[in-house]
Structure 1
Amino acid sequence: MNTFDAIRERRAIKHFDPTHQFTQQETEQLLELAMQAPSSFNIQHWRLVNVTDKALRAKLREAAHDQAQVTDGSLLFVVTVDIKAWEKDPARYWINAPKEAQDILVPWIHPFYSGKEQLQRDEAMRSAGIMLQTMMLSAKAMGYDSCPMVGFDFDKVAELIHLPKDYAIAAMLVIGKGIKPAWPKPGFIPKSEMVIENHF
């Protein structure tokens, strides 16, 4: 599937084949594609909790208001972010870059984020959002469906996955073989409202 078709055909699917399983190769391919997503300073804030334990999935479903896709999808990821990833050995994010790029960009990271709590969280969430879309489009291109989710008890999910300090949950993402199409797209705001020329 080409990129344009994947963008237009991706939908938040709620009904999945509970018997379908991803192969290890498919899962690895999906994760490798997710790694291609861009992030600020290449920090890659995302940390994906791949939930394979059925009992844990059942508890997460309960925390998600009994939404069936949590247990029925082939894959379930709790997408978290390490808000403090910027200060954890930042040179490693540029290890393969030319030395001149490393010498410029790595020293910028600390002053850019230090003392700016809101910016740290915002950048982590932006990175997660881009990575989520990359995963969803990759899944669609592989012939699968997905459902990004925020309709759950964040505190309960954090407790269930033992979320570390300085981490936050961005979303849950279900991927699998859809068995019922989504309803028609509900509508778009007009482009005249979406696009502002130069200034408001």
Structure 2
Amino acid sequence: MHVNEAIKLRRSIKHYDPKHVMSKEEIHTLLSNAVLSPTAFNIQNWRFVVVTDKALRQKIREVSWGQAQVEESSILIVLVADLMAWNKEPSRYWKDAPKPVQDYLVPAIQEYYNDKPGVQRDEAMRSCGMAAMNLMLTAKSMGYDTCPMDGFDFDKVSKLLNLPNDHTPAMFVCVGKGIKEAMPRGGQLPLDEVVIQNQFK
């Protein structure tokens, strides 16, 4: 599927075939494309918790306002932000780069993030958002539907997933075989309202 077609056809689907099982190969393809999404300084500050355990899915649904797609989609991927990825052996993010590049970028990571919790969080959330789009477009190209979500209790999900203290959920992406089409689009704003040429006036 051409990327333009995937963008136009991708919709947030709420109803899934709960009996459909994705293969390990399909899930591997999804995640392999997700990790090709960009991150600042290549710190790869996303983590992907793939939840397939039925009992755990049910518990997560309970703290997600009972939304059916959490439990009925083939897989639930919780995108988690590692807020301290920048400080975890940062040299490994540039291990294959030429030495002059390593010598410049690795110290720059520390300078950019150290003692800046707002920057750490903002960057991680942006990274998870971009990875989520890679997931959703890849899924669409494979014939699957998706639903991005932030309608859940973040603290309770953190506990259910046993997240480390320096990790926080960013969003869910449910993936599976949709059984009910999305409602017609609610109404896109015109480009001339959302695209600004050079500066606001």
Tell me by how many angstroms 1:100 deviates. 2.4
Q: Distance in 2 between matches of 1:97 and 1:18?
A: 44
SS of match in other structure, 1:22? coil
User: Could you say which residue in structure 1 is the equivalent of 2:137?
Assistant: 137
Tell me by how many angstroms 1:99 deviates. 2.2
TM-score, normalised with respect to structure 2? 0.97
- The letter of the residue matching 1:155 is D
Identity, % of aligned positions: 52
Q: Distance in 1 between matches of 2:75 and 2:94?
A: 30
User: Could you say which residue in structure 1 is the equivalent of 2:198?
Assistant: 198
5 Å matches for 1:88-107? 88-107=88-107
User: Could you say which residue in structure 2 is the equivalent of 1:125?
Assistant: 125
User: Could you say which residue in structure 2 is the equivalent of 1:157?
Assistant: 157
User: Could you say which residue in structure 2 is the equivalent of 1:44?
Assistant: 44
**Moved segments of 4+, more than 3 Å:** none
Gaps of 5+ in 1: none
TM-score, normalised with respect to structure 1? 0.97
User: Could you say which residue in structure 2 is the equivalent of 1:187?
Assistant: 187
User: Could you say which residue in structure 1 is the equivalent of 2:65?
Assistant: 65
User: Could you say which residue in structure 1 is the equivalent of 2:109?
Assistant: 109
Q: What RMSD in Å do the two structures reach over aligned CA positions?
A: 0.9
Task: Give the length in aligned residue pairs.
Answer: 200
Q: Distance in 2 between matches of 1:45 and 1:25?
A: 24
User: Could you say which residue in structure 2 is the equivalent of 1:176?
Assistant: 176
User: Could you say which residue in structure 1 is the equivalent of 2:30?
Assistant: 30
Tell me by how many angstroms 1:188 deviates. 1.4
Q: Deviations over 1:135-171 (max 9, x none)?
A: 0001001110000111111111111111211111101
Q: Deviations over 1:107-138 (max 9, x none)?
A: 11000111111011000000000000010001
